[in-house]
Amino acid sequence: MPADLKCKIAGVEFANPIMTASGCAGYGEELAQIYPLSNLGALVTKSISLKVRPGHPPPRTVETPGGLLNAIGLANVGIDRFLKEKVPFLEKQKTKVIVNVAGSTIDEYVEVCSRLNDCSCADMIELNISCPNVNEGGIEFGTSPKLTEKTVAAARKVFKRPIIAKLAPNVTSIAEIANAAEQGGADALSIINSVIGTAVDIDSWQPLLTNINGGLTGPAIKPIALAMVSSVYRKCNLPIIGIGGITDYKDVIEYLLYGATAVQVGTALFVDPSAPLKIVKDLKKYLKEKKLKSVTELIGKVRR
């Protein structure tokens, strides 16, 4: 019998634990040209804000050893166009859809979440309270336990299906923020968003990103993210979606062993849009070799 890859978070069942990370798969249209999205556990959309955001002027990305620094600036179509132009496509996809939400005030989060509550296509929402490269909003909410709780609680009031809080690594104690999100009514946690970083051109002495700071992603941040997942797993009761540098099935297993229930693949999609398919295939093989019936048997099983 083939190993079972199904997993469940806050009552929502996923075909497998492999999701796309927000900002790394757009609204799904481009990936769907390459393979059916039903291969994914879930598609997590780009952050949706109340208004259209054109994003930062280029250059927006810099390649770093084992990673990518980006300052896209939450470029997105805004909630109106998302509902009108992107949802009809997403409704046809046979995968779970998690809509990532960003705001620069709590009211903005509330309005976007409330509009999404009426959109049955959004199986869950993921609150981006941790974007490191916009000046207003984003990370400000996710670096203070109080604001985290307040933002999640405000979204909780208007969105009736499960809410995931996506946490920033740029904090002193991520477990404290995780507990605040739980207090606010979050059903799950995505750990981690990108790590603040920067880079400079040594000839012009100018920063390589127009925005100066960016978010570091890719394999370079995997050990950081793993440690954070491990820390939160031990100190908080919410299910965890692990994010950071996942490129192949081995990375996924590490995250599950440290306590993640599912994972999101981000930067690796830029290198290989089909990475999730390969991961799923290899994960099945691994489970069979280890004689495990379900992928859930790996969760939190690290031998300390």
Partner 1 sequence: MTKPTCEDTLVVKKRDLKNDYYSLVLAPFSQAKSIQPGQFVHIRLPSTDIYFRRAFSVASVSPVKEEVEIIFKVFGRGTKILGKLCKGNSLDLLGPLGVPFSFPNKKERAVIVAGGVGFPPLMFLAEKMIEKGHNPKQIEFFYGGRSKAELVELSRLKKMGIKLHLSTDDGSAGTKGLVIGPVEQYLKKHLKEKIKLFGCGPEKMLKAVDELGLKYDIKGQLAIEALMPCGVGICLGCVVPLKAGGFARVCCDGPVFEIGVVNIAC
Residues serving a catalytic function are: 131
Cis peptide before 192 (omega within 30 of 0): yes
For partner 1, the closer CB: 13 or 63: 63
80 lies in the binding site for partner 1 (CB under 8 A): no
Q: Is 75 buried (19+), middle (13-18) or exposed (0-12) by CB count in 10 A?
A: middle
Which residue in the set 5, 24, 42, 127 belongs to the binding site for partner 1 (CB under 8 A)?
24
286 lies in the binding site for partner 1 (CB under 8 A): no
Task: Dihedral sign for Cα 73, 37, 190, 181, please.
Answer: positive
33 lies in the binding site for partner 1 (CB under 8 A): yes
Cα of 191 vs its chain's centroid, Å: 7
Which residue in the set 41, 67, 138, 145 belongs to the binding site for partner 1 (CB under 8 A)?
67
Q: How many residues line the site for partner 1 (CB under 8 A)?
A: 32
In the complex, least distance from residue 21 CB atom to partner 1, rounded to whole angstroms: 11
203 lies in the binding site for partner 1 (CB under 8 A): no
CA distances from 240 to 165, 257, 263, 272 (A): 10, 12, 8, 25
63 lies in the binding site for partner 1 (CB under 8 A): yes
212 lies in the binding site for partner 1 (CB under 8 A): no
Q: Cα(239)–Cα(233) distance, rounded to whole angstroms?
A: 8
Outline where 12-77 has alpha helix (H): 29-32
Which residue in the set 2, 65, 291, 303 belongs to the binding site for partner 1 (CB under 8 A)?
65
Residues 136-175 that bind partner 1 (CB under 8 A): none
For partner 1, the closer CB: 100 or 179: 100
218 lies in the binding site for partner 1 (CB under 8 A): yes
85 lies in the binding site for partner 1 (CB under 8 A): no
Q: Using DSSP bridges, classify how beta strands 67-70 and 213-217 pair: parallel, antiparallel or unpaired.
A: antiparallel
Which residue in the set 66, 78, 185, 207 belongs to the binding site for partner 1 (CB under 8 A)?
66
Q: Using DSSP bridges, classify how beta strands 213-217 and 195-198 pair: parallel, antiparallel or unpaired.
A: antiparallel
- Selection from 164, 121, 159 nearest residue 28 by Cα: 121
Q: Which residues are near partner 1 by CB under 8 A?
A: 23-26, 30-31, 33-34, 54-55, 57-61, 63, 65-68, 70, 72, 75, 218-219, 267, 269-274
